[in-house]
Structure 1
Amino acid sequence: MRTIEITGGAGTAEALRPAERPDPQAGPGQIRIRVRAAGVNRPDLLQRLGYYPAPPGAPDILGLEVAGEVDQVGDGVTRWHAGDRVCALLGGGGYAEFAVVDARHALPIPDGLDFVQAAALPETVFTVFANVFEGGALKAGETLLIHGATSGIGVTAIQMAKAAGARVIATSRGPEKAAAAKALGADISLDARTDDLAAALAEAGGVDVVLDMVGADYAALNLKALKPFGRWVVIATLSGAKAEVNLSELMMKRIVLTGSTLRARPADEKARLAAAVEATVWPWVASGAVRPPVEATFPLEQADQAHLRLEAGHHIGKVVLTL
């Protein structure tokens, strides 16, 4: 099969090179997917740089989400059959012509979505659901603050929160991104370069949940903006992982500070999460309420260019590889 390998060790995007490998085979409880599109995510960049190795048992090939057709069904799998259109959450292996995955981690592609749109869903939807709706316990009528609102995670979080009946405040960098977040449904969209974020959040009455992909630089801002009993959920630390937090204020406001990663979770936990996503989020996807925009597509062989696009930070929405 065609695939992408990291040549010469971890490093720049130029280390990504097309290669050939034997086709993987579906084992018991697994399916093999003929990949038509694969999402590109920031963890892929971190793995390429050597900071985020694949968990034990996962392929060393990059790629955490794919869409395509079921090509092979392993023993014990009854839900899926050859030819079924699916998208799936992977532990790795998406940048390839074929990907093998636990059958429980695949979901049917809703009618009306093509493979590119479907490949933009699993990693982001699972991440948002696990962190905003489970870890953050966001409810209808509450306010969600999203930092990095035009990232792949951000655009998905805006749409999912609005579909659930929440109010959304988005922060992003630059007027174009602020306008895009507003167009996607954010009730208030702030430009982190020019707006006084603390003043704007205070004027908005504070927030109940923060989805934080920035980290250290926004720690004080988040703590001040959160209402009593607020939930602060950290899923990335782009500005640094070490922050000074006023624990007295945390206690006085009864705030929950939490965070998580998705990739290393046990297979059974990912299967539980997949079932919850299918029950709650898939109706929103089918209705069109959740439809993350795809900013750019690249052929598999140009995975290096896709990484450069993501690294530049100018994208609004998802970057997807096509086969």
Structure 2
Amino acid sequence: MQAVTIPQSGGPEVLTLDEVPEPVPQPGEVVVQVTAAGVNRADVVQRQGFYPPPPGAPAWPGLEVSGTIAALGEGVEGWTTGARVCALLSGGGYAERVAVPAGQLLPVPDDLDLVDAAGLPEVVCTVWSNVFMAAGLRPGEVLLAHGGSSGIGTMAVQLARELGATVAVTAGSAEKLEACRALGASILVNYREEDFVEAVKAATDGRGADVVLDLLGAKYLARNVEVLATAGRLVVIGMQGGVRAELDLGKLMAKRAAVMATSLRARPAAEKAAIVASVREHVWPLVVDGRVKPVVHERLPLAQARQAHELLESSQHIGKVVLTVG
């Protein structure tokens, strides 16, 4: 079968459409005939040579797909061949077929476009596990989502809106902020023109944010602690702004606040299955009803994976970029 491989680390130009072995389902796995694959920042970091796949995962990138079940491994129950699904992966999504543990599958509703569904698993599981399961966002609280127009951000805005939280976002243009407003954000901060700490505190009568979802890491650490409300929770899920920074423990203790840092890809299959099960219980009814939707900026064919990575790195997109297969 065909897959996009990474023969050597480097820029988008190293991505190569090549022939690779077809997956064979192991016990507890299914093989998905891929319709589309979501493109994520983690794929870019892997291409650059800094984020190798976990042991046992395919060497080619791709952390989420949509498609139909082509084969069932031994012991798989509750799924049938031909079923429309999307899946959370440890890797291998940029391909015509991929094997995935059955516990990491989600059913695609009939009313949802199967290509667009490829933009759901990674962002939904990331946002749900961090903002809700780990940080425990509650109705009436304030969520600050950095990069509000990203795939992660657009999903965080929608889910927090549905919970009844107030949503603040940062983004770098009026167009991106307007997209966030349309999804339900009410505190809009252009980080190129405003200080997000001052803006969020002004909009909340000095309270700040109860939960901060951050993809920048070191660059924003001190300011994120500053913007936290009393008993606030900062969840760091990315390191685009560096990996090392000083943490003012005095400020953190004075606020009785918490800092958490998590990743999803390397978690054991049982932990991923538990997250997916929670998503299916709490989030999927909103997807079925059409209240929560994937925001897809552009669809590109699998052979144009290089262009997809260039678009993602340009930060000109709003929502997700997906690769179509076949």
* TM-score category of the 2 structures, normalised to the smaller one: over 0.9
Name the residue aligned to 1:301.
Answer: 303
Cα separation, 2, equivalents of 1:111 and 1:100: 23
Letter in 2 for 1:91: S
Counterpart CA distance in 1 for 2:123 and 2:129 is 10
3-state secondary structure, aligned to 2:81 = coil
Distance 1:215 1:264 in 2: 19
Pairs aligned (count): 322
Q: Distance in 1 between matches of 2:28 and 2:19?
A: 26
**Mean alpha-carbon deviation: is it higher for 216-225 or for 58-67?**
216-225
Q: 2:35 — aligned with what?
A: 36
- Deviating 4+ runs (over 6 angstroms): none
CA distance in structure 1 between the aligned counterparts of 2:53 and 2:229, rounded to whole angstroms: 37
Task: Kindly report which structure 2 residues correspond to 1:1-323, keeping only aligned pairs within 5 A, or say none.
Answer: 1-7=1-7, 9-205=8-204, 206-323=208-325
**Preserved CA contact (<8 Å) 1:29 1:103:** yes
> In 2, distance between residues paired with 1:157 and 1:253?
24
Deviations 1:123-145 (A, max 9, x none): 00000011100111101111100
Q: Percent identity?
A: 50
Opposite residue 317 of structure 1, the aligned amino acid is G
Deviation at 1:85, TM superposition (A): 0.4
- Is contact 1:229-1:253 (8 Å) kept? yes
Q: Is the 8 A contact 2:64 2:122 kept in 1?
A: yes
Residue 289 of structure 1: how far off its partner (Å): 1.7
Deviation at 1:286? 1.2
Amino acid at match of 2:67: G
Q: Deviations over 1:183-231 (max 9, x none)?
A: 1110111111112322211112211000011222322221121111100
Q: Quick one: distance in 2 between partners of 1:46 and 1:101?
A: 22
Task: Give me the whole-angstrom Cα distance separating, in 2, the residues matched to 1:91 and 1:223.
Answer: 31
CA contact (8 A) 1:37 1:119 kept: yes
**Distance (whole Å) between structure 1 residues aligned to residue 196 and residue 39 of structure 2:** 30
- Once the two structures are superposed, what CA deviation does each residue of 1:221-275 show, in whole Å capped at 9, x if it has no partner? 2112111110000001211122222110100110010010000000111111111
In 2, Cα distance between equivalents of 1:65 and 1:175? 30
Amino acid at match of 1:4: V
Letter in 1 for 2:245: A
Could you tell me which amino acid in structure 2 is paired with residue 196 of structure 1? D
- CA apart distance, 1:30: 0.5
Q: Secondary structure at the match of 2:139?
A: coil
8 Å Cα contact 2:60-2:94 kept in structure 1:
yes
Structure 2 stretches lacking a partner, 5+ long: none
CA–CA distance in structure 1, aligned partners of residues 247 and 276 of structure 2: 34
User: How far apart in 1 are the matches of 2:249 and 2:53?
Assistant: 34
In structure 2, what is the Cα distance between the partners aligned to 1:3 and 1:219?
38
Cα deviation digits, residues 135-185 of structure 1 (max 9, x gap)? 111011111001111111111110011111111000011211111111111
TM-score (norm 2): 0.97
For the 8 Å contact 2:187–2:200, the answer to whether it is kept is no
CA distance in 1 between partners of 2:217 and 2:173 (Å)? 19
Query: What amino acid is aligned across from residue 121 of structure 1 in structure 2?
Result: L
TM-aligned CA deviation for residue 292 of structure 1: 2.3
